[in-house]
Amino acid sequence: MGFVLSEEELSIQATARRVVDAHGGPAVLRRLRDERDPLGIAGELWGALRALGLVGLALPEAEGGAGLGLKEVGLVAEELGRTLSPAPLGAHTVAARLVARRAGSSLARELTPSLCDGSRLATLAHEEGVRHEARPRAVTLSRRGSGYALDGDKSFVPFGGAADWLVVSAAHEGGAALVLVELARAEIMSLCTIDSHGAARARFRGLEVAADAVLTTDAEAELGRALDEATLLLTAEMLGGAWEAFRRTVEYLKQRRQFGVPIGSFQALKHRAASMYCDLELSRAVVREGLSVADGAQGSLAELASAAKARLSDTYVHVTNEAVQLHGGVGVTDELDLGFFMKRARVTEQLMGDAAFHRDRYARLLGY
């Protein structure tokens, strides 16, 4: 019965809803934008989420996390998406899970409790070049003396300016490695992006890396899994945003009058709204199923992550484009929040691979 939310899940959802409504929302995003905030995080909201233990939902209980699953994190991510609240929940969860699993590294052991309670912030630095790829190439890890050296550029690190630690994917001897880098040691350039959510470029130039900071040099499977988890948490956020843009649009269709009647009585618009509704219902099903599978339900994580991201990339972009169009002139004004949804949709579409990337990947996974 993976689709029916349990009492506990409903209560997490209700708590998250309350907190993001109190401390997040488009008004906060607007302020970050107007102030050109280099970190791009709703700080107060993040503090409130930490105080309630919602930052470590899917992190180990023994280290101060809640020991729950990604499905629960997804419910909070949906609320962040619904209110367009920039908070590094997905990025941090996935990076912290990678660190927490590394009992062999004393650095990782030392960091884990602070990542679980959120007093330190981590993010995954993976994207390179102009498009998502599954394997790192531009950033390389090579042996140097008793340790390693890290070289190359990461082009788009979500919340990269605000994190304390980066988990960096790197090409290494024909495979992939994961490396812990303290933010202060990297060259960071904060990006001012259309969605005003934190993002940065990171450059490593022969950066010395101690052996203890290398989480693994055999990262292929683990990185693949982490990317799938990050992808699914991102789709949960996208789902929340898409439903909200849709809800606002349906409200507007009922209230705005032209030709003496509500514009929602025009069939051309009704049909567009109804077909978006179907898109969104199907989206919800695939996102929730993907997160259940990430938590251990039967199914292929990789297939579902690609299925979900392919659909949500298309759906979020389509719904926000329609939302702007169906609002007419006010739809393209900065005063209305809808533009923020459209901009966030564009960014999330590209992050972790767009629809074409994931359809291609899905086909490959199925052997065609």
Which residues here bind another protein, judged by CB under 8 A? 1-4, 250, 253-254, 261-262, 264-265, 267, 270-271, 273-275, 277-278, 281-286, 288-289, 307, 310-311, 356, 359-360, 362-364, 366-368
Q: Which is nearer to another protein, 275 or 333 (CB)?
A: 275
Under 8 Å between Cβ of 181 and 153: no
Please state whether 201 falls in left (phi above 0), alpha (psi between -120 and 50) or beta: beta
Least distance CB 323 / another protein (angstroms): 14
- Residue (85 or 315) nearer to another protein, CB: 315
d(CA 133, CA 136): 7
Nearer to another protein, 192 or 274 (CB): 274
| Residue 63 DSSP class | G
Which residue lies nearer to another protein by CB, 285 or 332?
285
Of 185 and 248, nearer to another protein (C-beta) is: 248
Distances (CA, A) of 236 to 95, 154, 290: 17, 24, 10
Asked if 157 and 183 touch (Cβ cutoff 8 Å), the reply is no
Residue 102 beta carbon to another protein: minimum distance, rounded to whole angstroms? 34
**Residue 37 or 279 having the CB closest to another protein:** 279
Strand partners for 261:
258
CB of residue 365 vs another protein: minimum separation in angstroms?
Answer: 10
Of 249, 265, 236, 281, the residue nearest 81 (C-alpha): 236
Least distance between another protein and beta carbon 128 (Å): 23
Which run of H or of E encompasses 167?
strand 165-172
Instruction: Give the Cα separation of 205 and 150 in Å (integer).
Output: 7
Residue located via tokens 């912290």:
96
Continuous H helices in the chain: 7-23, 26-34, 43-51, 70-82, 89-100, 106-116, 220-255, 267-294, 301-326, 338-350, 355-365
Nearer CB in complex with another protein: 36/257: 257
In angstroms, give the least distance from the CB of 265 to another protein: 5
> Which CB, 7 or 35, lies closer to another protein?
7
Shortest gap between Cβ of 16 and another protein (angstroms)? 20
CB of 320 to another protein, least distance (A): 18
Cβ–Cβ < 8 Å for 329, 264: no
Q: Measured from the CB of residue 306, what is the shortest distance to another protein in angstroms?
A: 9
Comparing CB distances to another protein, the nearer of 146 and 267 is 267
How near is the Cβ of 43 to another protein at its closest, in Å?
36
Distance CA 117, CA 150 (A): 29
Q: Which residues are bridge partners to 273 per DSSP?
A: none
* Nearer Cβ to another protein (274/332): 274
Residue 204 CB, shortest distance to another protein, in Å, is 34
- 350, 160, 210, 140: CA torsion to nearest 10: 30
Beta strands 147-158; 165-172: pairing state? unpaired
* Cα diameter, the chain: 79
